[in-house]
Amino acid sequence: MRARAAMEAADAAEKAAKGRTASFVPSVASGPATFPLAAVVGQESIKTALLLTAVNPSGVGGVVISGTRGTAKSIMARGLHELCPPIEVVKGSPFNIDPSTGTMQEIDSFLLAELQATGKKLEDLETEIIPTPFVQVPLDVLEDRLLGSVDVEKSVRTGKTVFEPGLLARAHRGVLYVDDLNLLDESISNLLLEALSTGWVSVEREGQSVRHPCRPLLIATFNPEEAELREHLMDRIGICLSADAEPLTQEERLEATQRAVEFSTDPQAFIKKYEEGTSAMKSAITFAREYIKPIKTKRAQMKYLCENAIRAGVQGSRADIYSSEVARANAALNGNEIVDADDLVLAIKLCIAPRGTEIQAPPPPDDQQMQQPPPPPPPPEQEQDQDEDEQEQEQEPEPEQEQDDAAPPIPEEFMFDVEGVALDPEVMKFANKAKSGRSGSRGKIFSDERGRYIKPMLPKGKVKKLAVDATMRTAAPYQNKRRAREMEKTGVDQAGRVFIESADVRSKKMVRKAGSLIIFVVDASGSMALNRMNAAKGAAISLLAEAYQSRDKISLISFQGEFAQVVLPPTRSIAMAKNRLERMPCGGGSPLAHALNMAALTGMNAQKSGDVGEVLVVCISDGRANVPLSVSVGEGPVEGAPPVDKKELKEEVLKTARMLGMLQGFKLLMLDTENKFVSTGVAKEIAAAAQGKYHYIPKASEGAVASVASQAIANMRG
């Protein structure tokens, strides 16, 4: 009866919603047609996850789909929107408030103030049926557009501060789609996750204090080849699956191509062809939203989920909560009244396996141990005793057996063993993490001169870039008063003029990506020439090529004789760097302290330019120093003074290394080339003093040396 009533209500809602399509909702009739979700070939796990999220959007917490280009990520997201039934809202509400919420705490601050002023109740307000909203968050969205801000036009016209709702207000109870989630600005993604985790949006700015609910159905996609997705973003969203985990076969790929061509030729006919499957999915979602209300996950079933999460090495408790909600949604989608074992297995695959940190693939069948032979049959007397016991059990059932029958259904075996090995090979399709992105970790530089505009701020000193939008929003509510005041002074009608005061001015806060500067400090002294100088040169040239490919700047400092010199200033020219490195002379003393000092000065000057964030100092040396810093800077030794002690030289180098390590954004990588038969261990002490990384380069080829150095740099940057 409950499902029938829900279906009748959905049919009535669809009839009432016909012809009422919001401007931000794509329509098949008025705009580009939407590819039906039922017509997507393959990707059964992702389609199931989308349906479960539509059944229980607030509990599941959304779906993240990773995949390379052309894996139907956005098609499936938009196809799910077409399956969502219309919603009933308070008429004229820009926040899609549910009139059946039953509590005054689930409405926005404007409607709450209106009800308190008029004395009305929520059920007394007029309602309307609208299609489920579909809101897409663009990559260049600003904080004002996402959360909402002052409506300049209405504020100027009315003389009062008028709030304009943002994208999250429209997405409440609808579908919120975020494409390329990994490329979204960090501050915007943090605001988005905060609103989704709390279910509320709070705006406290420009004289406004607004609060409204925000519980959308979140669908996010990203391409792992472009950039990595932060771990805490994946943890906050219930299900994260890869579209590359189940590649299409040749037949499936052919079928997908034929369907795409057929859809582009005649969209309406193609949609009608799969109308039956689409209608079945719509009905399943409508029924399941009613079925899920009384379904509960038993304590024993939650214990089973938690045990699997522990065995898989899942951090935190979010996976346990999401898996419980997914199990409830799957039971409702299948029309069951309780959660069964299959629901728990699916929940582990969708929520726990992608978060596992200790999951191992099962061994191949050849490596598996031989199964133990069955136990020998019992003696005849024992068999007779067992037969008598079985007859007694059949005649008098024990109360414990009745309790076992009443226990909630749980799978017979765990999905992972105690060491995290997946007992079901199919689980590995969900446990495989997305491929690492190509782009390395990059810093960011915030400034008020150039970059991408992210938010307005109060100016500090002279304004270099005026934030016109924020300035107008701040000044808009006071225009009527300022025009009247100016008219009293001059006696001239000031209609149409905009008066801006110094307190209204806002400047732009901008951000841009900061490249890294890799400074190669190469020891060209006599001791270094005896210890694989050619291998060090080959490693440096290989690292220079990698730095060029990642668009970082490179610099080269050579030290020999009495001082160090910058052979190559910070540049991106690989040809010039290679030429100068190959022609670098060898021999003489080892002024290591002066070389580290020159690296610090070069890095600090590059950071002041505003284009460099992180500085990596790669020192290729044996760690020996025999020239003091005073000699390198031109002061020279004092006549009659005793020669410099080796301990003092060592302490001078370590002190310089400590100062280098204390500089902001500096990292040291020490590649030790010292012969271990006459080792002093100074290179390792230098790396420890600078809080950097140390690697010993044994006797190896240029390629091996370059591989060690390249991997060390990648680990430091990650």
Residues 190 and 386: their CA atoms lie apart, in Å, by: 65
Residues β-bridged to residue 210: 203
Question: CB neighbours of 612 closer than 8 A, spacing ≥ 6?
Answer: 514, 515, 516, 517, 553, 570, 603, 606
Judged by phi (left if over 0) then psi (alpha if -120 to 50, else beta), residue 316 lies in left
Residues 707 and 209: their CA atoms lie apart, in Å, by: 56
Of 236, 259, 289, 318, which one is the catalytic site residue? 318
Q: Is 233 helix (H, G, I), strand (E, B) or coil?
A: helix
Residues 564 and 560: their CA atoms lie apart, in Å, by: 6
For 673-714, list the strands marked E by DSSP.
Answer: 693-696
Instruction: For residue 712, give the nearest of 580, 618, 585, 605 by alpha carbon.
Output: 618
Residues 208 and 153: their CA atoms lie apart, in Å, by: 16
Residues 77 and 92: their CA atoms lie apart, in Å, by: 27
Does the annotation mark 318 as catalytic? yes
Residue 465, both tokens: 């870039």
Instruction: For residue 217, give the nearest of 429, 358, 362, 64 by alpha carbon.
Output: 64
Residues 64 and 351: their CA atoms lie apart, in Å, by: 11
Residues 132 and 84: their CA atoms lie apart, in Å, by: 6
Number of H helices, E strands in the chain: 29, 19
Residue 390, both tokens: 């079985």
Residue 520, both tokens: 């190669």
Residues 337 and 292: their CA atoms lie apart, in Å, by: 8
- Going by the DSSP 8-state scheme, the letter that residue 666 receives in this structure is E
User: Which of the residues are catalytic?
Assistant: 318
